[in-house]
Chain A
Amino acid sequence: MNSSRAVLSVKNVTKRFGGLIAVSNMSFDVAEHEMVGVIGPNGSGKTTMINMISGLYAPSDGRISLKGRLISDRQPQAIAREGVGRTFQLVRLLPSLTVLENVVAGAVYGHRRRWGREAEEFAHDVLERVGMDAMSYAQISSLTYIDQKRVELARTLAGEPEVLLLDEWLAGLNPTELETGIELIHALRDEGRTVVLVEHVMDAIRSLCDRCVVMSSGAKIAEGTPDEVLSDREVVRAYLGDDDA
């Protein structure tokens, strides 16, 4: 990958928590309009990687840059303004605010900023895109899990990020919801968004991702198209153990 085309670039990033190395010397690039999957067994450091990109954790070593600008030394709010938006593994909404207000929250302080009526209208548009506009004035506590996930996605989209980070967005959904969820992410892909997604659902990875980065024990063990990496011996071993490989 030519790094000048990269929107998001992760270079030699390491994260240590005391003696534990959660992420070790990770490097990968994400090009514009590309959907990159970060996959790997549980505990392999995928979410830690996402948390470093969004600024929740500072990397112990290495650099992360967005469009050539270093972001890994900055606070989450600064990174959000630079254009990185994210969802959380366990959905995080603001229960004291309505659905609409939750989405407006994403539109007011994000990468592109809006306020007042303009922010509300934009929030309605985004809610419509994720199929939740009818629920604009509902309380968060009355929503089903997938609807909460859609609202969180809408909040992230409302900031019009350059790069979207989806941390196990499809986890915890039932089969019907999963179908809706995959369709929704397909729609994001068709819009030409740049997305990094951490995912466990293999069907989704095959149909959604242009490229995959596979992590195991904090390190990158493979990179390539979904078909390539899923047939890689090292990857199969990481998932299934030595005996099955």
Chain B
Amino acid sequence: MKRANWQELLWVAIIVVLAAFWPMLANGYWLGIGVDMMMYIALATSWVLFSGPTHYISLASAAFFGVGGFIVGTGMSDYEASFWSMLALSAVVGGALAALIGLATLRLSGVYFVIFTLGLAEMIRNLVSWIQNNFLGSRGLYVLTDFTDKHLYWMLLVTAAAVYLLGWIISRSRLGFALRIIGGDETVARHVGINTAMAKVILFTSTGFFGAIVGAIIAPRWSYIEPNQVFSPQLSFFVVIMALLGGSGRLWGPIVGVVPFLLIWNWVDANFPHQSILVLGLAFLVIVYFLPHGFVGRIDQLRARARGRS
């Protein structure tokens, strides 16, 4: 991941301000798509924080997202807690869970890390189902709030903007530079004096922290929370595909990946409901064959070519 500059921050700030007006222009179907987009932009950007510079592909997004949804569901259903306190608790638990996973997976790299994170997310899903069925009573969890889609949209927009801002600050810090070195060669990173374990755990923790926040914010939309739904592994794959489609080399990559992907996905889902999963596979093929560095890589390439010509 490149060091982000002020110009980039300004552009993103303008996009955030413009995006805030979306609920005034759209409602119903299109506002719903807006909520989906904000949710995935927040998730994919927080995924890129860690996986972009280090090239560690994490499939644990659903675990953090699910923890957020489940905590809000349990807290509001069974303990009459407020949404906001459960949101805060989700963030802390999501961050702590990610820190634990990070510490446990430090020695894994490449495909082992990928499989481990996927397995772990599945394990958490089953564990939560089991706990709910045996100890909490096998009834569903209800999340009843006064929030409508537009409130959720704004909360997710703020979350996405916060993730971006954090990433922007990190990319300009020693920590961000350390992650680029770790992504290049971990042995070199250690020999120039970088505490690689610490750097990776800090970033992975932030991914878990924000993943759980997004899961908590989305919970009121579903009203009825069921572990198999909030911990769906499909979400983890969606996050990875959209982040890679946009390009994990830049912090704004997910924005240009999420928007076209979800537009196509929703169109296919509306017209050919049984074929929608094909889009996931096709997107994967497109990334592998045509966009190895995502749209961002292609944009950077075109820019470099234009500069070379002038």
- Taking Cβ atoms with an 8 Å cutoff, the residues of A that contact B are 54-56, 75-77, 80-81, 85-86, 92-97, 104-106, 108-111, 113, 115, 155, 159
The 10 closest A-B pairs by CB, nearest first: A94-B184, A109-B193, A80-B193, A76-B190, A110-B193, A81-B193, A77-B190, A109-B194, A92-B188, A106-B192
Interface size grouping (class) on chain B: 10 to 19
* Least CB distance, A4 to chain B, in whole angstroms: 27
Chain B residues whose C-beta falls within 8 Å of the C-beta of A86 in the assembled complex: 191
Contact B192 A75 (CB under 8 A): no
Give chain B's interface secondary structure class: helix
The answer to whether the Cβ of B218 comes within 8 Å of any Cβ in the partner chain is no
Contacts A56-B187, A115-B174 hold; do A77 and B196 have CB atoms under 8 A apart? Answer: yes
Contact A105 B190 (CB under 8 A): no
Chain B residues whose C-beta falls within 8 Å of the C-beta of A106 in the assembled complex: 192
Chain B residues whose C-beta falls within 8 Å of the C-beta of A113 in the assembled complex: 193
Chain A residues whose C-beta falls within 8 Å of the C-beta of B177 in the assembled complex: 104-105, 108
Contacts A108-B177, A109-B178, A115-B174 hold; do A159 and B192 have CB atoms under 8 A apart? Answer: yes
- Taking Cβ atoms with an 8 Å cutoff, the residues of B that contact A are 174, 177-178, 180-181, 183-185, 187-196
* Least CB distance, B133 to chain A, in whole angstroms: 44
Contact A108 B180 (CB under 8 A): no
Contact A111 B193 (CB under 8 A): yes
* Least CB distance, A98 to chain B, in whole angstroms: 11
Give chain A's interface secondary structure class: loop
Contact A77 B194 (CB under 8 A): yes
Q: Which of A55, A108, A110, A111 has the most CB of B within 10 A?
A: A108
Closest residue of chain B to A80 (Cβ to Cβ) is: B193
Alpha-carbon gap, A136 to B185, bound state (A): 20
Partner of A159, one of B180, B185, B189, B193: B193
Query: 17 A-B residue contacts at CB 8 Å?
Result: A76-B191, A77-B194, A77-B195, A77-B196, A80-B190, A80-B192, A85-B191, A92-B185, A94-B184, A94-B188, A95-B184, A97-B184, A105-B188, A105-B192, A108-B178, A109-B193, A115-B174
Alpha-carbon gap, A95 to B184, bound state (A): 7
Alpha-carbon gap, A120 to B222, bound state (A): 52
Contact B184 A75 (CB under 8 A): no
Alpha-carbon gap, A104 to B181, bound state (A): 11
Chain B residues whose C-beta falls within 8 Å of the C-beta of A75 in the assembled complex: 190, 195
Closest residue of chain A to B183 (Cβ to Cβ) is: A96
Contact A109 B174 (CB under 8 A): yes
Chain B residues whose C-beta falls within 8 Å of the C-beta of A93 in the assembled complex: 188
